[in-house]
Amino acid sequence: MIQPQRIQTLNHKSIQNGRFVLYWMQAAQRAETNHALEYAIRRANELHQPILVFFGIIETYPSANLRHYYFMLEGLRETQEALARRNIPLLIQRISPEAGVCRLAQGASLVVTDGGYLVHQRKWRQAAARKIDCPLIQVETDCIVPVAAASGKEEYSAATLRPKIHKQLEYFLKPLHRANPKYRLSQIDYEYFDIQDIYQAISRLGIDRTAGRSAFFTGGASQARKFLRSFIRNKLDHYAEWKNDPTLDGLSNLSPYLHFGQISPLEVALQVHKSSSPAVEVFLEELIVRRELAINFVYYNPQYLSFRCLPVWARATLRSHQKDRREYVYTLPQLESAQTHDPYWNAAQQEMRITGKMHGYMRMYWGKKILEWSRSPQAAYKIAVYLNDKYELDGRDASGYAGVAWCFGKHDRPWQNRPIFGMVRYMNDKGLLRKFDADAYVKKIDTLGLV
């Protein structure tokens, strides 16, 4: 079922007499449970035309580096093979996505795309909608409840968004049935970027190489489903008690795959929902309410990359304490290389640098300490965004930016006033030690460096 609330026409052009229907794949880099793809197939069948899928690789994607590109290309290679089994070609080109779609649209009857929530993603789609001569239809597939259907404004917290999500959840939490393309594109005359040998493909890209490939995560839907099956079978029952203990392997590890659209949140939710585990609702709160609160944040607040995105009370209290004495002040190079006095923070930074993913609970502590150890809250915000974007496989997206902002007061309430933090929630190492064996966490991360 493709609910009409997922579908948005981005221009008012007429359907052309083209050779194919073009699906511009960008956020949802997958062949399964992809509403945009299925919508494009159905429209192609109605028009008695084949479908062509396009993906544009841009070497200057904001904050992306070798780590992100390698993981993404692993997933795209698998998606290309999965689409080929459905007689659907995936054309990958080394071109800015909006420029590539404008060229290909010259041969298309209409263009379908998936939804993007960040400012530059939305600008790409808006630019293409203006320039092409056929309709551009956006189909949202990376939310359970489409962002505008959930709320027409930026929500204050999970408490305000949750009832709006839950009211519509039954309607949107429905399986998506595959459509079979009836027509096949017999010949493709366009140049393409070959990704079958990923190492060779990467060597041809002029990208930042300062963060190397993660040896701990392999991209692709098949890997995502392995993590999902393992999580449901071995971890879900204990999720509520394990999720805040980084010494345990209690998380789903799906966030990198959700980030690149290699697995659908709908597929994850439906599979988890089948379980009789008592922790189902706890996990779905994170997957749906918290994740979609983050999407609501970046969609309605274009300042998400800066200190200006914070609520008025948080900005005011942090500014009022901006000149407070700080016992420790670290530079960006010191923080990036995990050279602080705090072994727990250093371990969290090293986990992110080595694996490409930091445990969620440690992310909160990590961000709070950057605020405490930087010369100003504005500088701290920039540092946190920079490090998160550079090293996290699931950085550079709504959840990553909401996670950073939360450390500075976003989606939270005022707490007791204290130095440096003002009324923003405070965290310290004593809190870590009360929750879990923080020294065991340090030892665990130390062993990662030996792998």
**The domain spanning residue 412 has which CATH number?**
1.10.579.10
DSSP H helices in 134-254: 147-150, 158-172, 198-203, 221-230, 239-242
Confidence (pLDDT) at 186: 85
In a domain, 62, yes or no: yes
pLDDT of residue 451: 41
Among 133, 165, 200, the domain-final residue is 200
Host domain of residue 125: 4-143+189-200
**450 burial class (0-12, 13-18, 19+ CB within 10 angstroms)?**
exposed
Residue 434 in domain: yes
Asked which of 173, 200, 227 is the last residue of a domain, the reply is 200
Q: Are residues 59 and 195 located together in one domain of the fold?
A: yes
Residues 315, 195 within the same domain: no
Count of structural domains within the chain: 2
- Residue 289, domain member (yes or no): no
Domain boundary pick from 200, 219, 235: 200
Question: How far lies 313's CA from each of 409, 423, 426, 448, in Å?
Answer: 9, 8, 15, 40
pLDDT of residue 1: 82
If asked whether residues 340 and 194 sit together in one domain, one would say no
Q: Look at residue 214 and tell me if it is in a domain.
A: no
User: Is residue 72 in a domain?
Assistant: yes
Is residue 372 a part of any domain in this protein?
yes
Residue 379 lies inside a defined structural domain of this protein: yes
Question: Does the residue 245 lie in any domain?
Answer: no
195 and 325: one domain?
no
Residue labelled with tokens 């950085």:
395
CA-to-CA distance for 410 and 406, rounded, in angstroms?
4
Identify whether the C-beta of residue 26 lies closer than 8 Å to the C-beta of residue 124. yes
137 beta partners: 9, 112
Residues in contact with 262: Cβ distance below 8 Å, sequence separation at least 6, in sequence order: 29, 30, 75, 78, 79, 219, 220, 221, 224
List the chain residues with pLDDT less than 50. Answer: 450-451
- Comparing CA positions, the residue from 295, 293, 317 lying closest to residue 307 is 317
Query: What pLDDT is recorded for position 371?
Result: 98
